[in-house]
Structure 1
Amino acid sequence: MPRSSIALQFRAEAYDHPDGSVDAGTVMTWIDKTAYAAAASWSGADVVASYVGNMHFSHPVPVETRVIVQARVVHTGRTSVHVQTRVVLPESKDADGRSLVSTECVMVYVAVDAGGTPVPVRRWEPSTEEDREHERMAMARQSIRREMEEALVEAPFLGEMTAETVVLRFIASTREVYPGEKVQGGVVMRWIDEAADVCASRWSGLPVVAVFAGGVRFYQPVRVGDLVELEAQLVHTSARSMHVSVRARAGDRREREPRLIAHGLSVMVSTGPDGRAVPVRQWRAATEQDRVLERRALELVGLRNKAAHEWAGRTQA
């Protein structure tokens, strides 16, 4: 029987994360695994990630502790399933004794047939007032998502910029795949986080962590064996943060022009011994292209704030 909600448990080992906290990329893969399960169960078909909403990492995820990722369907389109997710830390409590929520976001999946063609999905009907409120928020976020996608599409190519830039290239090799040897969306999100990490670390000269990942848009799938190229570029600095735009491309290794597969924006900070963000070296836009992309990045941050409270309330342990 189709399910509209699901929760999965995860745990990260200390030897994989020597600094004591789980990196944002790993958390993103957990979110995708759980949301994928909810979307696939509801649709009764294979699904592929289409869009990832804003993620603000309000609490670090410690290693060697139980983590629960919750996912539930909050809206369906003709071929799409919108899934609200949250990452809960049941062993960490706030002042009122409630489990901390590390982050939350909406994942949008599209149901596809064996050939990758979108197929209709069964409509999800809200049954409670809470369900209806979640669906209203999901529908409202669609317009915000379109604004974010326009901001990304209209931005210049990163190669035209003059700021700190990092390019990573590798062959896609992973067991985390959808049917048809297509790499899972969570893996692509982890790659984007890793590229942003390298770029921000080079600029600051210090270790960094992600505090925000925004509006990841998936354009085409990546298949195992594809040559992947990640281009990360610093586009804005505030007093204590670095905004990094990342474009992911991939294709057959024999092709000279890889296709755009995804784009996202990450906000990174360097932290001191007390865990607080420290001041970072400032970057100033030097060309018109620099200024355009910086403006787009700030627009995305503004849209993030517009949709900041996507899912009110907290989860009880």
Structure 2
Amino acid sequence: MPTTAAMTGLTVSSLGRATGRVGPPSRRTADGRVLAAQSSPACRTVFTRRCQGGPRGPHRDGPETTGSWPRAPTTSTTKGPVDPMRSLFHEELETLSDELVELSRLSARALERATRALLGADLELAEQVISEDEQIDALRRDLDNRAIDAIARQQPVATDLRQLVTTLRMSADLERCGDLARHVAKLARLRYPVCAVSGELTDVFAQMSEHAQAMCLRSGEIVSAQDASGAAELQQQDDTMDRLHREVFRILLEPEWDGGTQAAIDATLLSRYYERFADHAVSVAIRVVYLVTGVWMDEQEAASRDHLGGGGVPRAGI
């Protein structure tokens, strides 16, 4: 009796050609029966895999796995080239930060020299402080021009924009510190050859100058490191300056004061100069908090008080 393959007219080879699959060759006997030829183990393995839906070709990377397709090659995740314009922009931001640090150093140095001229009645030193204030003004103008140019060219957002905006404010604070040092030098020149400060006030103003210089230098370090925690440190130091400021008025209001009206007015102005110098240093640090966090320090304090149920009105900015 003819086999099923003979009745249908299909052989394993013809079935493979019809379906696109490759099978082992077949042969026919003398009485017309179709017999499948014995194939090698390798042929049977490939034939079986292909019938099971396996890969349509031999592996080139290693032995085939039954019923599995080769994995797609891993895509490289390396970053593309860095935008040179962005690199230049960030270099410009670093330059602005360095100039702010230099501005703080120059202002602190100006106050130190102005105080020496004040307490020592040194006219020449006072004149130098007054004339060198132009260097501080020129640095501030250059810094502001750079910041405005960067805003116009780069159109920054987020932290970059905050850094440029706060740079403009901080440069104004530090330049004002230089102006206050110049005021001290001008008063020393005005009273020459007499020393504008004498007696118990001499020690008080020496301490105020020392604290103000340290605070100004520290503000530059806070800007360079973008240290948001430095503002609290400077505010504590500012409490010392406020105490010394009140000490000046205590001395002036004592019945034993015999320095006269002119000396009292000079001491009042000088105390105000030193106290405001320190306030501007604190202001710089507070702006660094905004730069790093995006929130003004006074708003953080108000939110903290509300969270604790204390309420209250935020302290006005400096």
Q: Whose Rg is larger? A: 2
**Which structure has more RCO (C-alpha within 8 Å, separation ≥ 6)?**
1
Task: Say whether the fold is shared (TM-score over 0.5).
Answer: no
TM-score normalised by structure 2 residue count: 0.23
Relative to its length, the structure with more helix (as a share) is 2
From the two aligned structures, give the one with the greater strand fraction: 1
Question: Could you tell me the TM-score, scaled by structure 1's length?
Answer: 0.23
